[in-house]
Structure 1
Amino acid sequence: MDLKGLKINFLGDSITEGYGCSSEATRFTNKIAAEHGAITRCYGISGTRLAHQTKPSDNPRHDLDFPSRVADMDPDADLIVVFGGTNDFGHGDAPFGNFSDRTAETFCGALHELYVSLLEKYHNAAIMVMTPLHRATEAIPNMHGKVLKDYVDMIRRAAEYYSLPVLDLYATYGVQPAVPVMMEKFMPDGLHPNDAGHVILTNKIVKFIESL
């Protein structure tokens, strides 16, 4: 796909919103627009998850799960990019669930609900999925006994089921915060990429979109 003039909706969490960047200009969504002529819309909200939260969060904004936000996205888009899941692992209280689930009450079900909603609304557009990045706490089981890779694997599996292309950033982003120098240079808090990290994100995303 040619990025010039391409209308892209980015649905995500704090990384998409640009937490960790020094300014909005260094956020990957804006870099793609500035450097490649795409028309980008940022639907990133910090703290949000794919699955519906069982117990309300202290900040109601964090409970705006991905499926519930599809209706508010601009319908005139050529490409939808979904980038989430790390918060479901990090602090989501929804059960992990099973692949057969079909509602947002579980993580697995939320993936199905989200992808179906996007396919119904954007059946004339392309949809791509990005897996979560590595994070410093990824190997510590969460309240559901799952590690981050369990969420990554399910994101891959559900996307494959709907034949949605996956940019596997978990496997190819090139930053593992368990290595101190990598964490210091690209992801100082062990979770959110800084400006240098967003340069990598921009380049990875652009190359993937161009391959579609």
Structure 2
Amino acid sequence: MVLTNKKINFLGDSITEGVGTSAPENIYLNVIKAECNLAEARNYGISCTRIARQADEFEYGHPFCDRYKSMDDDADSIVIFGGTNDYGHGTAPIGAFEDRSEDTYYGAWHVLLRGLMEKYPRATIVAMTPLHRHDEDTPSPGNGKPLKTYRGIIKEVCEYYAIPVLDLYAMSGIQPRVPILREKYMPDGLHPSDEGNRLIASRLIGFLKAL
């Protein structure tokens, strides 16, 4: 995929919004815009938001499976980066692969991906899994599962729709349980620093160019 002059919509949570960075230009999507001469790098990141619809939606913000509808229509590519908040403070059930409801994690991924394919039939749609986080083995409040379970569901549903997945959980180079890596890339154990965002940008650039 040639990135020069492309318009990309980035749908995400606090990491995409830029929490953890020192300035907007250091957010991974703006690093990509500068390095690859994108026409647009549109930031649809909202802190605390989750993939699935939740009972506390009005406290934490509308989920990805609803918000994609309001994104600009002329994107050449869509990048989805979420799921860590569904694990961290989400209460929606995981559900099953057969679900097509916004109220379960499985179902919300189906709704989101099908909706994006219908809204952007000519665009390249990709997903990124959550990064490692310091508390990733703590049972989730909603389902009692580790973060790895939520990451696996992303890969499973995306595979069904033939949506490419950049597995940052496996290949970001960021593991906050290693002290030297935490200090450099993720000081709070959750949100990447400027250096962490540059590393994500590097991984995503290579991934998109290979498509």
What interval of TM-score do these two structures reach, taking the shorter chain for normalisation? Answer: over 0.9
Task: Tell me the residue number matched to 1:145.
Answer: 144
Q: Deviations over 1:146-172 (max 9, x none)?
A: 100000000000000000001010000
Residue number in structure 1 paired with 2:29: 29
What corresponds to 1:12 in structure 2?
12
Q: What is the match of residue 193 of structure 2?
A: 194
* RMSD (Å) for aligned C-alpha atoms: 0.9
Aligned-pair CA distance for 1:56 = 4.3
Give the SS at the match of 2:177: coil
**Is 2:180 aligned against 1:177?**
no
How many Å separate the matches in 2 of 1:63 and 1:193? 21
What is the aligned partner in structure 2 of residue 52 from structure 1? 53
> 2:134·2:190 contact (CA, 8 Å) conserved in 1?
yes
Could you tell me which amino acid in structure 2 is paired with residue 127 of structure 1?
I
Aligned length: 209
TM-score normalized by the length of structure 1:
0.96
Which residue identity lines up with residue 28 of structure 1 in the other structure? Y
Identity percentage of aligned residues: 51
Q: Provide the rounded CA distance (Å) in 1 between the counterparts of 2:116 and 2:122.
A: 10
Query: How far apart, in 2, do the equivalents of 1:56 and 1:154 lie?
Result: 21
How far 1:17 sits from its partner (Å)?
0.6
Structure 1: give runs of 5+ residues left out of the alignment.
none
Distance in 2 of aligned mates of 1:27 and 1:174: 17
- Give the match's secondary structure for 2:138: coil
The DSSP-based 3-state class of the residue aligned with 2:126 is strand
> For residues 28-47 of structure 1, what are the alpha-carbon distances to aligned partners after superposition, in whole Å with 9 as ceiling and x for unaligned?
11111112101211100010
User: Which deviates more, 47-56 or 19-28?
Assistant: 47-56
Q: Does structure 2 conserve the Cα–Cα contact (< 8 Å) formed by 1:53 and 1:63?
A: no
TM superposition shift of 1:63: 2.5
Change (3 A) 1:69 1:56: closer
The answer to whether the 8 A contact 2:57-2:63 is kept is no
Q: Which runs of 4+ in 1 moved over 3 A?
A: none
1:121 aligns with one of 119, 122, 129 = 119
Give matches, 1:58-97, under 5 Å.
59=59, 62-97=60-95
* 3-state DSSP of counterpart to 1:113: helix
SS for the counterpart of 1:129 is: strand
Residue type at the aligned position of 1:76? D
Q: Which amino acid aligns with 1:71?
A: K
Of residues 48-57 and 70-79 in structure 1, the stretch that sits farther from structure 2 once superposed is 48-57
